[in-house]
A and B are shown apart, each in its own frame.
Chain A
Amino acid sequence: MPIGEVIESNTRQFVAEVYRDQAPPAFGSWVCVTLTGGWTLYGLVSHVELGSTEPGRRPMALGRTPDELRREMPHVLELIRTTFRAQVLAYEDPQGRMHQTLPPYPAAIHAFVEACPPTIVQRLSQPYDFLRTLVQSPDPAVPIDDLLVAVLRQIRAGYRDPEGTQALIEAGRLLSRLLRDDHERLEAILRRVT
Chain B
Amino acid sequence: MLDFAQLQHQLQGFAAYQQRQRNVLQEKLRAALETWTAAPEADGLREQVEAARPSWLVAQPLSPKLQERVPAPERPATVTVVAADGSQIFPNRHVEPPCFLINVGRVAFQLGTLEPPVLESIPRFYYRQEDLRDLLDDRFETVSVEIVSALRDEQELEALLELAVTAQQEGRPLVALLDGTLIRWMIRRLHQRDLEEQLIGRYVRLLERFQEAQIPLASYISRPGGAEVVNLLRVVRGECASSPPAISLEGLPDRLLFGRLLQPGERSGIFLSGSHIQQAYARPHQIAYIYLAVPGPYDTMEIARVEFPQWVAQREDWLDLIHAVLLKECEKGQGYPMALAEAHERAIIRGADREAFYEFIGRQLGQDGMMLESSRKQMSKRRPVL
Contact = CB atoms under 8 A, between A and B. Distances in A.
Interface residues of A, number: 10
A2 interface: no
B112 A56 contact: no
A71 B107 contact: no
Interface in B98-136: 107, 109, 111-114, 116-117, 119
A75 B119 contact: yes
Nearest to A57: B345
Nearest to B111: A72
A125 to B, nearest CB: 45
A74 B117 CA distance: 7
Dominant SS among interface residues on chain B: mixed
Interface in B327-342: 328, 332, 338, 342
Nearest to B119: A75
A58 to B, nearest CB: 13
A78 B119 contact: yes
Given A56-B350, A57-B345, A72 B117 contact: no
A73 interface: yes
A65 B113 CA distance: 14
Contact of A75 (B107, B113, B350): B107
A56 B350 CA distance: 10
B338 A71 contact: no
B112 A71 contact: yes
Given A56-B350, A57-B345, A75 B112 contact: no
A173 interface: no
B332 A71 contact: no
A74 B109 CA distance: 8
Interface in A70-85: 70-75, 78
A73 B114 contact: no
Interface residues of B, number: 15
A27 to B, nearest CB: 30
B112 to A, nearest CB: 5
B342 A75 contact: yes
Contact of A70 (B114, B332, B342): B114
Nearest to A74: B117
Nearest to B352: A55
Interface string A66-108: 0000111111001000000000000000000000000000000
Contacts of B332: 72-73
Contacts of A75: 107, 109, 117, 119, 342
B121 to A, nearest CB: 12
Contacts of B345: 54, 57
A167 to B, nearest CB: 46
A74 B116 contact: yes
Contacts of A54: 345
B281 to A, nearest CB: 34
Contacts of B338: 73
A66 to B, nearest CB: 11
A71 B116 CA distance: 9
A61 to B, nearest CB: 11
A78 B342 CA distance: 12
A72 B119 contact: no
Given A57-B345, A78-B117, A78-B119, A72 B112 contact: yes
Interface in B57-109: 107, 109
Nearest to A60: B334
Interface string B313-357: 000000000000000100010000010001001000010000000
B353 to A, nearest CB: 11
Q: Which of A71, A73, A74, A75 counts the most chain B CB atoms within 10 A?
A: A75
A104 B119 CA distance: 41
Contacts of A72: 111-112, 328, 332
A194 to B, nearest CB: 43
A78 B107 CA distance: 13
A61 B82 CA distance: 25
Nearest to B350: A56
A98 to B, nearest CB: 42
A130 B107 CA distance: 49
Contacts of A70: 114
A3 to B, nearest CB: 21
Given A56-B350, A78-B119, A71 B342 contact: no
Given A56-B350, A57-B345, A71 B117 contact: no
A-B pairs, top 7 by smallest CB distance, nearest first, are A74-B117, A71-B112, A75-B117, A75-B342, A70-B114, A73-B332, A72-B111
Interface of B: 107, 109, 111-114, 116-117, 119, 328, 332, 338, 342, 345, 350
25 contacts: A54-B345, A56-B350, A57-B345, A70-B114, A71-B111, A71-B112, A71-B113, A71-B114, A72-B111, A72-B112, A72-B328, A72-B332, A73-B332, A73-B338, A74-B109, A74-B116, A74-B117, A75-B107, A75-B109, A75-B117, A75-B119, A75-B342, A78-B116, A78-B117, A78-B119
Interface of A: 54, 56-57, 70-75, 78
Given A54-B345, A70-B114, 4 more contacts: A72-B332, A74-B116, A75-B107, A75-B119
